[in-house]
Amino acid sequence: MCYRIDPAQEPPGFWFKHRRRVILSCETLDCLKRIEQVHDQKLRFLRILLSKKVSALVALDFMQTGQHFCLQMALVRICILGRCPAAPMSRNHSSSNAIPVRLSALELRSRYNKHVSKLSPPTAPSVGFISLGCPKNLVDSEVMMGLLDRAGARLTAKPEDADILVVNTCSFIDTAKQESVDTILEMARLKTEGRATKLIVAGCLVERYRDEIKKNIPEVDAVVGTGELESILEAAGIAPMAIVAPSPFTILSGNGHAEVRSGRESGAGTHKTEFRPEGDHREKQGRFKRDDWQGAAFQLPTYLYDEKTPRVLSTGRTSAYIKIAEGCDHPCTFCIIPNLRGKFRSRRFESVVAEAQRLVASGVQEITLIGQDTTCYGEDLGLKDGLATLLDTLAKIEGLRWLRFLYAYPNRITGRLLETIAKHDNICKYLDVPLQHASPDVLKSMKRGAGADIFLKTLEKIRAAVPGIALRTSFIVGFPGESLGDFEILEQFIGEAKFDWLGVFNYSHEEGSGAYSLTAQVPKRTIEARKRRLMKLQQSISKQAKQQWVGRELVLLAEGESDETPMLWEGRTQFHAPEIDGKVYINDFGDRESLEAGRFYKAEITDAHEYDVVARVVAGPF
């Protein structure tokens, strides 16, 4: 039943429903402007929709605090239900068409393509994968799915239909660990109440809490660490099956099935035994120490997949990641990734090139190279400017439209690397350089070095070498000992640097990190206030920058209908990395009745908001 709010406090067209569902009927933005809790970012979709002269019902989440109601989730989905009523809703009004606020763990968190399943014999066990965390973790999931796929398992996007459930976890910061634990518990519930007979936990959380997982969550049948991807078959109880075919890739398509391109039987990768001198030196200093981690393997992970390793690509037919290196040797005191992933190690040059060539031959047009520090690529192989050399070679692959890499360490950005980016049209003019802070004192405590002045000179060099390049970075606020003066240095730096994309993260006090023993902790309330202050600053910078996009014609990759509403499509330009940056909302197809996901179009930017832009298609596909 729907009840009316006190008319004295009611914005026009606003009603609430019990059980945490709010329905908002609006034909103008006046009602939303009256609700202070609705974030400006959430208004963009209504503005775009209203520009198409449509009405909308908007589902929101709310919580009761004392005698007041406040919006907790703000805009969740825009549900186009035809013309909205001008009068208050009937008590018999059904909101069954509204999108549920709460989603299952697979729907909410999974990086696995939700629209596909594998055609295999009906007797084959079905496996449901939930991949959490970063793109590097996603590639690990694709490798494990590839091994299972090759062995004859069926992949399902519905956890309730799976015989075997696999959760590939993240353990980078507290929030990631909590998300991983919550997902494991939800899948444990499905195992207890549903058809699943096995639950496997993989990834970084296993490296950190191997014994605790097995002890405290008895529903977990097996664990697979970051260097043990090959053991997924044993954990699942599935025997390897040799299939001879020309390619190791299975590419998931959006038609409900997977297009099977099984590869020839091979080892699942290699194990590196020689590393950079820097890594060996840091090991002697205790950088990779994890003696206190109960159940952690004595040896650090050494695994690297190669070009013969089977993969199930979950990123669609057009885009794919390639992990060119694993591990990290840097001494950053806030980070435990070296302990979780091991020493830095590069894949063989020829292996990366062979994988890229096969991906492009299978239809992939966008490749993103990933690693914890891609700018160190090849140093352990004796290559000078290894990343630049690799990019130069890959850019020459016919049919590869976009090539980018994530992430760059600031003091590893060489002149040759920038020249290579500028030289090739198909290398995206995009650079992600996590700087972490700008105060020299904080950076020294983080064991990273440099400071605002040096970073500004670096940014100037980058922009001079690659005109129009999009720059992304991330910062940590609340690192132990961060003073108000340190924070103001960071704030001033952001204002001067004017990044295209920027993320701010709260410091996470991680046991096992170098900073864990530091005692000058910053209060959580202060950390949150500083984060909001920086993001408000970046919002104004980004809004001004995005306004400069209006009128430009850019090539974009159409990705499909928007999650917000089927009235809009979403896409990306070369200045948008997959999943992490803003979006291009397409509200005008030109003379086309529809667009095709995974195809490239030329579009004119017609409107801009704080982080996202709106476009109309003017040419393509091509």
Asked whether residue 206 is assigned to any structural domain, the reply reads yes
Range of the domain at 199: 103-269+305-314
Crossing angle for the helix pair 484-497 and 524-547, to the nearest 10 degrees: 10
| Mean pLDDT, residues 364-392 taken together | 95
Position 110 scores a pLDDT of: 43
| Other C-beta atoms lying within 10 Å of the C-beta of residue 50 | 15
Distance CA 250, CA 127 (A): 15
Same domain, 131 and 188: yes
Distance CA 244, CA 195 (A): 32
Strands ordered across the beta sheet of 319-323: 319-323, 366-370, 402-406
The DSSP letter of residue 379 is G
Lowest mean pLDDT among 160-164, 402-406, 549-553: 160-164
Q: What share of the chain is helix, strand, coil (3-state, %, to 5)?
A: 30, 25, 45
pLDDT band at 211; cut points 50, 70, 90: confident
CB 327 within 8 A of CB 343: yes
pLDDT greater than 80 at residue 15: no
Mean pLDDT of the chain: 79
Distance CA 401, CA 389 (A): 18
CB 260 within 8 A of CB 245: no
Position 13 scores a pLDDT of: 31
* CA-based R_g, the chain, Å: 25
Distance CA 229, CA 235 (A): 10
Contacts of residue 301, defined as CB under 8 A and 6 or more positions apart, other chains included, come to 207, 225, 226, 227, 228, 326, 327, 340, 341, 342
Last residue of a domain, one of 260, 286, 314: 314
Q: Decide: residue 397, CB within 10 A, 0-12 exposed, 13-18 middle, 19+ buried.
A: middle
Asked whether residue 336 is assigned to any structural domain, the reply reads no
CB 362 within 8 A of CB 354: no
Asked whether residue 538 is assigned to any structural domain, the reply reads no
Same domain, 113 and 203: yes
Residues 567-579 have pLDDT tens digits of 899 999 999 999 9
- The torsion angle over the Cα atoms of residues 41, 43, 47 and 52, rounded to 10 degrees, is 100
Same domain, 120 and 173: yes
Position 249 scores a pLDDT of: 55
| Mean pLDDT, residues 136-165 taken together | 92
Asked whether residue 615 is assigned to any structural domain, the reply reads yes
Same domain, 164 and 205: yes
Contacts of residue 225, defined as CB under 8 A and 6 or more positions apart, other chains included, come to 202, 203, 206, 207, 210, 297, 301
Distance CA 61, CA 76 (A): 7
Tell me how many domains the chain contains.
Answer: 3
Asked whether residue 525 is assigned to any structural domain, the reply reads no
Asked whether residue 11 is assigned to any structural domain, the reply reads yes
| Mean pLDDT, residues 239-259 taken together | 50
Q: Please name the residue that has the structure tokens 């690799």.
A: 390
Angle at 505 between CA 502 and CA 507, to 5 degrees: 150
Asked whether residue 431 is assigned to any structural domain, the reply reads no
Same domain, 224 and 181: yes
Greatest extent of the chain over all pairs of C-alpha atoms, in Å? 73
Same domain, 110 and 39: no
Q: Is 20 left (phi over 0), alpha (psi -120 to 50) or beta?
A: left
Same domain, 166 and 113: yes
Position 281 scores a pLDDT of: 73
Residues 26-47 have pLDDT tens digits of 333 444 444 434 444 444 544 4
Same domain, 246 and 134: yes
Residues 216-242 have pLDDT tens digits of 899 999 999 999 999 999 999 998 876
Last residue of a domain, one of 45, 63, 79: 79
Residue 352: closest CA among 314, 384, 397, 385: 397
Same domain, 50 and 191: no
CB 141 within 8 A of CB 168: yes
Position 269 scores a pLDDT of: 63
Residue 136, domain CATH: 3.40.50.12160
pLDDT band at 545; cut points 50, 70, 90: very high
Same domain, 244 and 111: yes
Position 173 scores a pLDDT of: 81
Residue 567, domain CATH: 2.40.50.140
Crossing angle for the helix pair 415-423 and 386-394, to the nearest 10 degrees: 10
pLDDT greater than 50 at residue 360: yes
Same domain, 215 and 181: yes
Q: Which range scores top for mean pLDDT: 193-197, 255-259, 263-267, 465-469? A: 465-469
The pTM assigned to this predicted structure is 0.79
Residue by residue, what is the 3-state secondary structure of 4-39? ECCCCCCCCCEEEECCCEEEEEECCCHHHHCCCCCC
Q: The tokens of 458 are what?
A: 């670096």
The DSSP letter of residue 430 is E
Same domain, 236 and 145: yes
pLDDT greater than 90 at residue 113: no
Asked whether residue 545 is assigned to any structural domain, the reply reads no
| Other C-beta atoms lying within 10 Å of the C-beta of residue 60 | 25
The one-letter amino acid code at 404 reads R
Residues 595-605 have pLDDT tens digits of 999 999 999 99
pLDDT band at 270; cut points 50, 70, 90: low
